[in-house]
Chains A and B, each alone.
Chain A
């Protein structure tokens, strides 16, 4: 019979934890979120030596304090779920700081195994690590691995199954000075005598109480023995003790390191050399911008043929279905509603896959941290983190993958703001709208007008970020403490897995919302308006006054009239939520010129619309509710309908406000008459 166990994978960020996870589980992974938060949780399975292992990838953390969400998740999982074995992945080139987390995992009393990863790099660097001595010192198994090549994985899994059959108490390898030990011991006695604490490792709990860990004190307060605990805590200055604990942990690590390894610190490493160039005072920013351009070109130019393929395929499929189905309304539902809907979900896939491939190359190579380092000053001015910059830039291509790319922002608030302002980055799908309207109304100045629209988008994003930072998402800036990991050659396998994961998440989570939205709009355009004699889903009524959407457009007309729009524009904007470029096509249909853009621009400029209203319409298109795909990923990435609806309402009111001011003030002042 196979035994079932849970193995948690812990470790610092940038230690190759993901490559170990991939090497163990292969493609058998499930990506989701930790309950209640939008921090990613990856789970994989592997059978080894007749043991069924469920591998849980904990968030990468440097420590296990209560100050960061990732750290709370990691430690709560270890305390509450009690995994059978915890494997800590350690970067062999960076032992001292990595072992700091080890001290804390040991205090948690877990069955620990150390995967000494990237041993090849340590060797190349000239470091000499004696694993046997390290194992003796730490009293836990140490297995050396090279995650990116899959070396040492079998040995690691053997160690996991061996560990199961051994009853072992983690020794107190890491001890503190007498004062701390004395208090910790007193607390341990109290905690051990109270069944309320039976669930927790008492030495660890005691130390955390002494350090003044808010989360733990809160838990402690609920027990009957808290008054006794309080007496000991009152004699302690948590601030001083906390510093002492960190200091003494590092001292013990240093003592150990002197015995188990020889670290070569003499030379200028390859990473230092690259950094000299890419973070150079004069060249750093130009290099970053040119690499951004490269990533952008690949993502959005190289994706074109694939998007065309998808477009043609779904067009063909819809047509085939429409001709094959004899019932007209059903044909329309399947062809124009469902197949077009599925197509509008899949069409973004090439962009998403390519962007995440690029981002993964940047992240895995270590450049992403440099990008954040370079751009942080600029972003901190609007209260954001350097890491917010890349998603915002990618937003110019397509908001959908850009919003998904905000995952790399650690601070929840920074991330939320970045998600909320990304839709103001004018994406590629809005360009056709600008081109048509600016071309029809502003002739030779069309280029300037379009440039102003892009600039306005950036301005709105910047001001909104500042505004949200100082109102609804107020609070201290998260401290900026970021490691600049050494550069590594990214592996294709790792990047492909990452890319595919993102694609799957998009299809599964955002896909449903997009599909519902698209079919919903089709229904509105196909159901005859009350009192209309048209038949359901017939060509004659689709999207016209005879349909529900036309009726809604007419109901909305008084709302958009102050902007100089009529009901046709209102309907086109409703369609635009399916995908912004549809605004142009729907206007063509509504003005009775079909797909012919030239005649549409002739009709519009001949008097159906004033230049001011056209300008207002462009601004409206820029700012109002993003497309369904975008709404889908906002919901997925914020995990909240509240914030999703907030974005829609906020953007649409801004759009209305801007268009109103442009039209009204412009008309009053007699501009462009």
Chain B
């Protein structure tokens, strides 16, 4: 298995969501925003101060703090 936490992924990398863990309320919100298992997510960039991080998925841009990104397990797409 090659699961990584989303906050560790460098910009300009594409990943596939494996699972969302974490607290119920934030997990539900992350799922609602479309980070469901199998979804392709492009890591775009980190904010100038290093946090939050910007992602692109399902044709729109989303930003998560590292704390939230940490709860998303992903697999790097080659």
Q: Are the CB atoms of A376 and B51 closer together than 8 Å?
A: yes
Partner among A246, A280, A376, A380 whose Cβ is within 8 Å of the Cβ of B32: A246
B-side contacts of A284, CB under 8 Å: 47-48
Q: Is the CB of B34 within 8 A of A481?
A: no
B59 CB contact (under 8 Å) in A96, A374, A477, A479:
A96
Q: Mark A259-286, 1 if CB is under 8 A from B, else 0.
A: 0000101000001000100011110110
Cα(A49)–Cα(B31), bound, Å: 41
Whether B63 pairs with A484 at a CB distance below 8 angstroms is yes
CB distance from A621 to the nearest CB of B (A): 34
- A100-B32, A480-B65, A482-B62 in contact; A243/B20 too (CB < 8 A)? yes
Q: Contact between A479 and B29 (Cβ–Cβ < 8 Å)?
A: yes
Contacts of B1 in A (CB 8 A): none
B7 at the interface (CB under 8 A from A): no
Given A285-B48, A376-B52, A480 contacting B59 (CB threshold 8 A): no
Residue in A63, A94, A377, A483 whose CB lies within 8 Å of B47:
A377
What residues of B have a CB within 8 angstroms of the CB of A62 in the complex? Answer: 29, 32-33
With contact pairs A94-B59, A480-B63 given, residues A373 and B33 touching in the complex (Cβ less than 8 Å): no
Question: Which residues of A sit under 8 angstroms from B64, Cβ to Cβ?
Answer: 480-482
Q: A97-B58, A281-B48, A480-B52 are in contact. Are A373 and B63 (CB under 8 A)?
A: yes
Q: Are A67 and B25 in contact (CB under 8 A)?
A: yes
By a CB distance below 8 angstroms, the chain B residues around A100 are 32, 34
Query: Within 8 Å CB of A235, what residues of B?
Result: none
In the assembled complex, A224 has its CB within 8 A of some CB on chain B: no
Interface string of A358-392 (1 = CB under 8 A from B): 00000000000100011011101000001000000
Our pick among B38, B44, B48, B51 for the contact of A380 (Cβ within 8 Å) is B51
- Interface status of A598 (Cβ within 8 A of chain B): no
| Known interface pairs A279-B47, A373-B54, A480-B67; A247-B36 also in contact (CB < 8 Å) | yes
In this assembly, does B13 line the interface, its C-beta being within 8 Å of a C-beta of chain A? no
Given known A65-B29, A280-B48, A281-B48, contact A483–B54 (CB-CB < 8 A): no
For B75, list chain A residues within 8 Å (CB): none
Interface centre among B36, B45, B47, B50 (most CB of A within 10 A): B47
Interface residues of B in 40-78 (CB under 8 A from A): 44-52, 54, 58-65, 67-68
Residues from chain B with a CB closer than 8 A to the CB of A484 are 54, 61-63
Query: Which residues of the other chain, A, contact B63 by a CB distance below 8 angstroms?
Result: 369, 373, 480-484
Structural contact, B32 and A65, CB atoms closer than 8 A: yes
Say yes or no: is A93 at the interface (Cβ < 8 Å to chain B).
yes
Report chain B residues within 8 Å CB of A97: 33-34, 58-60
Q: A243-B31, A247-B37 are in contact. Are A377 and B52 (CB under 8 A)?
A: yes
- Considering the complex, give the chain B residue whose CB is closest to the CB of A476: B23
Shortest distance in angstroms between A592's beta carbon and chain B's nearest beta carbon?
A: 54
When distances are taken between beta carbons in the complex, the residues of chain A under 8 Å from B15 are none
Task: Pick from A68, A281, A386, A484 the residue with the most CB of B within 10 Å.
Answer: A484
- The residue from A96, A243, A280 contacting B58, defined by CB atoms under 8 A apart: A96
Inter-chain CA distance A246–B27, complex, in Å, is 11
Q: Which residues of A contact B34 (CB under 8 A)?
A: 96-97, 100, 250
Chain B nearest CB, measured from A176 CB (Å): 13
Question: Restricting to A27-78, which residues have a CB under 8 Å from any CB of B?
Answer: 62-63, 65, 67-68
Interface SS, B side = mixed
Q: Which residues on B sit within 8 Å (CB–CB) of A482?
A: 52, 62-64
A242 interface contact, C-beta 8 A:
yes
Q: How far is the CA of A375 from the CA of B63 in the complex (A)?
A: 13
Within 8 Å CB of A374, what residues of B?
47-49
**In whole Å, how far is B1's beta carbon from the nearest beta carbon of chain A?**
19
Q: Which residues of A contact B39 (CB under 8 A)?
A: 250
Asked if A483 and B61 make an inter-chain contact with CB atoms under 8 angstroms apart, the answer reads: yes
Which residues 230-254 in A have Cβ within 8 Å of B in the complex?
Answer: 239, 242-243, 246-247, 250
A483 vs B52: C-alpha distance when bound (angstroms) = 12
Do A480 and B68 touch (CB < 8 A)? yes
Check if B30 is an interface residue, CB within 8 A of chain A: yes
Chain B residue with the shortest CB-CB distance to A93: B59
The answer on a CB contact under 8 Å between A263 and B59 is: yes
Interface centre among A65, A369, A378, A481 (most CB of B within 10 A): A481
Chain A nearest CB, measured from B60 CB (Å):
5
Contacts of B49 in A (CB 8 A): 285, 374, 376-378
Closest to A482 in B: B63
Closest residue on chain B to residue A477 by CB atoms: B67
Query: Which residues in B have their C-beta under 8 angstroms from that of A285?
Result: 48-49
A481 touches B29 (CB 8 A): yes
* B65 adjacent to A380 (CB under 8 Å): yes
Q: Is there an interface contact between B26 and A246, defined as CB atoms closer than 8 Å?
A: no
Mark contacts of B7-33 with chain A using CB atoms, 8 A cut-off: 1 yes-contact digit, 0 otherwise.
000000000000010011111111111
Q: B62's closest neighbor in chain A, by CB? A: A483
The complex places the Cα of A484 from the Cα of B56 at a distance, in Å, of 10
Alpha-carbon distance between A383 and B41 when the two chains are bound, in angstroms? 28
Known: A67-B28, A246-B36. A373 touches B52 (CB 8 A): yes
The CA of A336 and the CA of B58, in the complex, are separated in Å by: 62
Considering the complex, give the chain B residue whose CB is closest to the CB of A366: B61
Write out the residue numbers on chain B whose beta carbons fall within 8 Å of the beta carbon of A282.
48
Knowing A62-B33, A97-B58, A373-B63, the reply to whether A279 touches B25 (Cβ < 8 A) is no
Complexed CA–CA distance, A662 and B68 (Å): 44
Most buried by A among B28, B44, B64: B28
Give, as a whole number of angstroms, the nearest-CB distance from B24 to chain A.
Answer: 7
Taking CB atoms, residues of chain A closer than 8 Å to B24 are 212, 239
CB distance from B34 to the nearest CB of A (A): 5
For A576-587 the 0/1 string (1 means CB < 8 A from B) is: 000000000000
Inter-chain CA distance A374–B48, complex, in Å, is 6
Query: 28 A-B pairs, CB-CB below 8 angstroms?
Result: A65-B28, A65-B32, A67-B25, A68-B29, A94-B58, A94-B59, A94-B60, A96-B34, A100-B34, A212-B24, A243-B36, A275-B54, A279-B45, A281-B46, A376-B47, A376-B51, A378-B49, A476-B23, A479-B30, A479-B68, A480-B63, A480-B68, A481-B29, A481-B30, A481-B68, A483-B60, A483-B63, A485-B60
**Besides the known contacts A377-B47, A480-B68, A481-B68, 13 further A-B residue pairs in the complex with CB atoms under 8 A apart:** A242-B28, A243-B36, A247-B36, A247-B37, A281-B45, A285-B49, A378-B49, A476-B23, A481-B62, A482-B62, A483-B60, A483-B61, A484-B63
5 closest A-B pairs by CB: A377-B49, A479-B26, A63-B32, A246-B31, A480-B65
Residues of B in contact with A (beta carbons under 8 Å apart)? 20, 23-34, 36-39, 44-52, 54, 58-65, 67-68
